Amino acid sequence: MALASTKLYISASILLLATPSLSQAQQALIKGLLVDKETGSPISSASSALLQQSNKSYVKGAQSLDNGSLTFTDLAAGTYAVRISYVGYESILKENITVKSGQQLDLGKIVLSPSGELLAEVLVEGRAPAMQIGVDRKIFNVAQSMVSVGGTASDLLANVPTLQVDMDGAVQLRGSTSVKILIDGKESAMAGSNITALLQSMPANSIERVEIITNPSSKYDAEGQSGIVNIVLKKNIRTGLNGTANVSAGSYNNYQAGIALNYRDNKVNYFGNYTYNRRNMVGDGKRNNTYSNGSQINNNTESSRKTNSHTVKVGVDYYLDAKTTLGLSSNISLRDNNRDQDIFYNYLNHPIYTGTSTRLSRQQEDDFGYDLNLDFKREFKRQGEELVANISIGKDKEDGTNNFDQTFSDPSTLSSARYNTTSEKGKVMNFQVDYSLPFSEDKKFEAGYRSIVRNSRDYQLSNILNPTTGEFEPDYNLSNGFDLKSSVHALYANFQNKLSEKISYQVGLRAEQAYLNSIYWIINPMANSINITGGLNYFRLYPTAFLTYALGDNNDKLQLSYSRRVNRPRGWQINPFIDVSDESNYRQGNPNLLPEDIHSFELNYAKVYTGWNFISTAYYRKTNDMVQPYIYEVNPETSVTYSRWENLTDASAYGIELISKIDISRNFDLMANLNFTYNQILGSETFQTSNQNGLTWNGNLTANYKFTPTFSTQIRGDYFAPRVMAQGKTIHMAGLDIALKKDVLKSKGSIMLNVRDVFNGRKFGATTDAGNVISYFENRWSKRMITLSFSYRFGLQDSSKQKARETQAQDMGGEGF
């Protein structure tokens, strides 16, 4: 009986498996081959739609393969039309294609002609900096930024319109440091708790492009007051074996060398790159503190930040079939950070100190971080329908020592010294899945889930010099540990549609459950342990909405958008450990910080003229529970100031951003960016601060000139006006960069010379007034840098028009336009 049942089951299974095949045997097929009219080369990744001939209704979509082949399968008998469109080519419509039941109809070669038309998004072409601009995002191509060659990711980001990098290396977007930094679309575990340190060691030539999203849809993480900056690392996709080698040397013993390799056949794409970077940033600064009792403490600073880093990216993509891709990749960062700082104090009318003192700080750190990524992508029969998933895990470890030694000119004042041992460990796990379902060319639904979990542990053992014995002894007041556990679990949905030929919209909703728990402890073997805990547990909804109106043709568009966002506290902002690296200015975190709640509105307008592209944005941002450092105490005897991160008040920012690219001639182009912001910061009775209002602006101008087909130059200047803060105002800052480039070896090699900050004008600074003390400071974290670089490209370098357009098409993702 069992055997008979088994045979029956097998027979039924075979019948079920065979039935679709029998059915499909009656289905028709239409195929063709897409080729470039000028070169005859096959065109891959072209979008095609199969339509009913009678009413042009959408039937299904398809995309051409690497060999240019295009196929529509499983068709019922009937009469169809095929519409084919691709970036940089004229769209074509082939009509009255009649196919019979079971027929395999070959349309033969389908020739596409280059159109020279501009994209629906504003495509800023040219030599440098190459930027593609959409209403919601800007894409910066690092390969075109000559002034960044030989530098780091921080140097590169400082050259991107709308971005700034402050004195500590923190990235600002439209004047706000509350920006979300992603690497390859995800939070990087390599960075640990300090993304700034990673950016200052990551070589600029390992980056393919930078994407800026100022008002993201609900598909993206809601974190980041002013938006998202996504750094996309290099990953070649050319067929065959190819690669690039580069080397550079600069002032202050800065050196860099790297190699990138790629090999692809029909089924597998292997890629990898390695870069060694020796970075030395030599800076200086000063601070003047004037206290209510009439005394002053002034200091001058000399600093050096030395980094030796090894950066590796390796990966493989396996094409299971024409519509399914599986990828495995890893990023590795190995670096040491040596930071030296010499502070020279001068005391005037001080109640305790007289004369001068010298404080020497030596910090050494060894960092190691990595992440592993598993990516899956499945495209379905319907054009644009796809499922994308990612699982990633990464760790970061940082061990170091920090020495302080302060001596006084007054022999009656004892010298002091401190020796700290530090350790940091972090782990990040990320899982996300995204599904996209187009109902037609104008109507699409998106949904997805994301979960990210972060765990970190910081530990410090502090030892202080006993002046009597001359020995270092444990200082348990500054010996501590700090554990931080946070997680965010999110679901989102987006829907976009057209109301008419000119009006389209997109609405979305993101639901996030967030947890943040911290434990801070001071361990003293002679006393009971002291624990300070903090925690957040909250659920929020983050709606987004986009309304787009086409003006005239499709190149001119107007868009109104809204998004709700959040800025969650970082580890250093909630860690109550007191940072004593500056003897006269102590800083600490606050475990009770609340997340900032942000509401962002934007109105965007883009216009395309012949030889002139222009985009403007008017924006308004309301921030509740704004987080800033607050000076809460000044020691009347030592004059030491104590500051702590607090939810000070609410703030508003009104702004206008203008970006334009002008082709003066075939060999000369300009790109300009201006951003005007009016900031309003409400006063607080709790913190005894008054209202602060003020207009600030910044701008940059990049000029590219080609002397000959193989010899070109780039000049870039920027200016930042003063900006109001809750307790003061920043100072202005300006800088100029110059680069020269010469192509050699039949354009396979390039020699480049650049000078960053020609006039040493990039100084960050501010004046703050905390009532008991008025403080002025300025700091320059890197002086003028001169770099000479050479790069060489080898292997198969396909530079055909079709490949160039394919690269552009791959970069043109985004909402809005």
Q: Locate CATH 2.60.40.10 in the chain.
A: 22-112
In the predicted model, what is the mean pLDDT of residues 186-213? 71
Q: State the pLDDT at residue 687.
A: 85
792, 246 in Cβ contact below 8 A?
yes
Of 63, 50, 55, 58, nearest in space to 93 by CA: 50
| 621-670: pLDDT as tens digits | 999 999 888 888 887 666 778 889 899 889 999 999 998 888 888 889 88
Of 353, 318, 324, nearest in space to 638 by CA: 353
Q: State the pLDDT at residue 479.
A: 85
Amino acid at 291: Y
- pLDDT band of residue 555 (cuts 50, 70, 90) is low
* pLDDT value at 769 more than 60: yes
Q: State the pLDDT at residue 197.
A: 67
> Which of 26-40, 499-513, 762-776: highest mean pLDDT?
499-513
- pLDDT band of residue 7 (cuts 50, 70, 90) is very low
pLDDT over 90 percentage in the chain = 35
β-partners of residue 267 are: none
Q: State the pLDDT at residue 597.
A: 94
Report the C-alpha gap between 580 and 572 in whole angstroms: 14
In the predicted model, what is the mean pLDDT of residues 380-387? 86
| 71-104: pLDDT as tens digits | 888 788 889 999 887 756 777 888 899 998 888 8
Question: Does residue 243 sit in helix, strand or coil?
Answer: strand
Let me know how long the chain is: 817
- CATH fold of 22-112 reads Immunoglobulin-like (2.60.40)
90 vs 287, higher pLDDT: 287
In the predicted model, what is the mean pLDDT of residues 679-701? 88
| 349-376: pLDDT as tens digits | 988 889 999 999 999 999 999 999 999 9
- Reported in sequence order, the residue ranges of 251-355 that DSSP labels E, i.e. its strands, are 254-264, 268-291, 296-321, 324-348
Q: State the pLDDT at residue 806.
A: 35
| 513-522: pLDDT as tens digits | 999 898 888 7
Q: State the pLDDT at residue 583.
A: 63
In the predicted model, what is the mean pLDDT of residues 752-772? 89
**Residue keyed to tokens 């728990």:** 517
* pLDDT value at 135 more than 70: no
- pLDDT band of residue 545 (cuts 50, 70, 90) is very high
Q: 668: which residues sit within 8 A by CB, 6+ positions away? A: 703, 704, 705, 706
Residue 29, Cβ density class (10 Å: 0-12 exposed, 13-18 middle, ≥19 buried):
middle
Q: State the pLDDT at residue 382.
A: 83
Q: State the pLDDT at residue 811.
A: 31
* pLDDT value at 6 more than 50: no
| Alpha-carbon distances, residue 421 vs 340, 395, 398, 458 (angstroms) | 16, 21, 11, 11
Report the C-alpha gap between 402 and 361 in whole angstroms: 7
In the predicted model, what is the mean pLDDT of residues 300-307? 92
Amino acid at 287: R
- Cα-trace Rg, the chain: 30
Of 805, 779, 794, 703, nearest in space to 747 by CA: 794
- pLDDT band of residue 776 (cuts 50, 70, 90) is very high
User: Average per-residue pLDDT in the chain?
Assistant: 82
Q: pTM of the full predicted structure? A: 0.72
590 token code pair:
């606050």
DSSP line for 673-686: EEEEEEEEE--BTT
Report the C-alpha gap between 688 and 354 in whole angstroms: 32
- pLDDT band of residue 123 (cuts 50, 70, 90) is very low
In the predicted model, what is the mean pLDDT of residues 510-537? 82
287, 780 in Cβ contact below 8 A?
no
**Residue 313 CA, distance from chain mean position:** 17
| The CATH number of domain 240-811, selected from 3.40.50.720, 3.40.50.2300, 2.60.40.10, 2.40.170.20 | 2.40.170.20
675 token code pair:
């951003």
Q: State the pLDDT at residue 5.
A: 45
* pLDDT value at 575 more than 60: yes
* pLDDT value at 117 more than 70: no
